[in-house]
Structure 1
Amino acid sequence: MTGLEKASNKKISVYADLSLLLVAMIWGGGFIVMKDTLHILKPFYMNALRFSVASITLGIIFWKKTIKITKKDLKYGTIVGIFLWIAFITQTIGLQYTTVSKSAFLTGTNVVIVPFLVWIITKKHPDWYALMGAFLCAIGIGLLTLQGSLSIGIGDGLTLLCAIFFAAHITSVGHFAEGMDPINLATIQMAVTGILSIIGAVILEPVPKFTGNAVDLIISLSYMTFVSTMGAFFIQNVAQKYTTSTHAAIILSLESVFGTIFGVMLMGDLLNIRMVLGCILIFCAIIIAETKLSFLFPQKKTKEVS
């Protein structure tokens, strides 16, 4: 490889990392948008609109793939979609009762949970990095959420439940995705999430009355649907072709950091020293579980697949 080619590859890698940083910022900002929109829409209606529009849009854009969806695709996509729906609805309901910064970090704990769900399914014991990450994560969660009576608020509890189901979603995607078209899998799971949210909204929530600015609502839903869901998904998949998995894991885990920063700056979230320490421990747990600290031992690292 010539020096010019190396320089070109390095430049592409930098652009890919910056793109993933943008994705982390978009997802971090998504917590703010959801929190703000909850003043107008209830959780089921919000997710019904967000995921229905996203699935219909994907189905139209990639209609040549959509018409080839099989019964097997529908079966697996529905299972994955149910996990996604439970994860998002518990996260959204929980966000009504907790702060943006707490929600961001607690949601991020899903990457620590994944190895243990894989253990249940495959009987493959988690490595020491996963165990270390889980230990630090448990301490961090305690510092971040435990109140004076050593109880966890309903919002924090629902968000922890959401992290478990996000982990189940990630695990199920890894289990069922082989042999499936990723666009069809994404379209089906979003459609399932949208349909289940519509059913929940009709049964459990009153019809929303729009007393505020309709333009603000449209902008918020557009951000969640087209930017945070469809746009970020597309950028992530393209960018990860040109950077290492370690880089991607580290950068995407910054979602929780951006969510916390935005929560403090824009929503007035208050963090005491104990909560900040909890955030730091959770972030360290995510880094350890996702990267196995390979960036500290480059001489031992095998060649990664971009």
Structure 2
Amino acid sequence: MTSRDDSIHLNPWAARLMLLAAAAAWGAGYTFEKIALRQMSVQWIMGVRLVIAVALMTLILWPKLRRAHLLDMLVPGLTLGITYWSAFLLQMEGLRTIGPGRNSFLTATYCVLVPFLVWAATRKRPAWRNFLAALLCVVGVGLISLSPNDSARLALSPGDLLTLAGAVCYGMNIVLAGSLAKNFDATILTYYELLVAGVLFLIGAALTEPAPQLATLHPQTIGALTYLVLVSTLIAQNLQNVAFSQVPAAQGSLILCTESLFGMAVSVLALGEELTTAHLVGFAIIFVGIVVSEVRIRRPGKAGDR
């Protein structure tokens, strides 16, 4: 017996707006992560934010959690949680040796990977517009993220390979979320996803990183953690998983690529980063890519594009 959430009936365009809101929340989160990193290591930040989010969700969802069948949710929760954890871990390990712009660009290649992963999982080839739109979005993210020094280095370093492996895991997580959200309650899926990933991060942090001195955290750090818990994790992850019940993974992944756009915008406003012509062109290309993914061209005598 599944735990499908029949109480949520989303208009597909409302679901797309939810994905856009999730991308905005994650994009803005980069600035708050930079603040939190001044006093805490990455795995501790991830573990603390996920476990606190799970504790809050337990209070909110307790009646629904009691009705859910744990055995039914075990495999979906584990697969989502492990892919979520491994994606972040590989991306962060890659970030240790390569620049943040290059890391962000290589991570965004999941936009291209998702249509192929959907194809492999369902044996149903996505429309050609999905592949074209994905390539456009990656080009746009590259213009936003990469500095001239980043783009000049074509050889793949170990950090690049780790980041690309993380992108594969992100893609797998999106495809799994898109598939599972159609058959299970999306909020319960998110609960177990965050629970599994949070426990794995705390174990990794306890084994490899010094414990943070919580009593000496600055108010700015506490404020940043509050945003990461409430907005980047609790709200954004639920928005993504609920939205994927209505939006195909290949299209939804393109909307999530706007994370880089929002990240740059917040960085310009909050940190005074310079906005260049390349950034503006990148924003425009991402927009075109999303439009291409939504346009369906009907040919005379054909059933229509998928």
TM above 0.5, yes or no, is: yes
Partner of 1:4: none
Amino acid at match of 1:52: V
Alignment partner of 1:170 is 2:142: no
Q: Deviations over 1:265-302 (max 9, x none)?
A: 544656877x64994587268526xx5241899xx999
Cα distance in structure 2, aligned partners of 1:284 and 1:257: 10
Q: Cα 1:240–1:120, aligned 2, differ >3 Å: closer, same or farther? A: closer
Cα distance in structure 2, aligned partners of 1:194 and 1:301: 46
Partner of 1:74: 74
Identity %: 32
TM-score, normalization: structure 2? 0.72
Q: Cα 1:154–1:284, aligned 2, differ >3 Å: closer, same or farther? A: farther
Alignment partner of 1:287 is 2:286: no
Q: Cα 1:256–1:65, aligned 2, differ >3 Å: closer, same or farther? A: same
Cα distance in structure 2, aligned partners of 1:239 and 1:177: 8
Q: Cα 1:114–1:147, aligned 2, differ >3 Å: closer, same or farther? A: closer
Alignment partner of 1:85 is 2:82: no
| 5+ residue gaps, structure 1 | 1-11
**1:21 Cα deviation after fit:** 5.5
**1:88 Cα deviation after fit:** 2.1
Q: Is the 8 A contact 2:95 2:163 kept in 1?
A: yes
3-state DSSP class of the match of 1:125?
coil
3-state DSSP class of the match of 2:177?
helix
Alignment partner of 1:215 is 2:219: yes
TM-score, normalization: structure 1? 0.72
**1:57 Cα deviation after fit:** 1.3
Partner of 1:55: 54
3-state DSSP class of the match of 2:125?
coil
Partner of 2:115: 115
Partner of 1:232: 236
Q: Cα 1:63–1:210, aligned 2, differ >3 Å: closer, same or farther? A: closer
Q: Which moved more, 1:70-79 or 1:172-181?
A: 172-181
Q: Cα 1:164–1:281, aligned 2, differ >3 Å: closer, same or farther? A: farther
3-state DSSP class of the match of 1:292?
helix
**1:117 Cα deviation after fit:** 0.7
**1:74 Cα deviation after fit:** 1.2
Q: Is the 8 A contact 1:101 1:256 kept in 2?
A: no
Q: Cα 1:240–1:284, aligned 2, differ >3 Å: closer, same or farther? A: same
Partner of 1:125: 125
Computed over aligned residues only, the root mean square deviation of the Cα atoms, in angstroms, reads 4.3
Q: Deviations over 1:94-129 (max 9, x none)?
A: 455566655555444423321111122222234312
**1:75 Cα deviation after fit:** 1.7
Q: Is the 8 A contact 1:88 1:162 kept in 2?
A: yes
Partner of 1:35: 34
| 5+ residue gaps, structure 2 | 1-10
Q: Cα 1:99–1:169, aligned 2, differ >3 Å: closer, same or farther? A: same
Alignment partner of 1:255 is 2:262: no
Amino acid at match of 1:26: A
Q: Is the 8 A contact 1:109 1:282 kept in 2?
A: no
Cα distance in structure 2, aligned partners of 1:242 and 1:111: 18
Partner of 1:7: none
**1:63 Cα deviation after fit:** 0.6
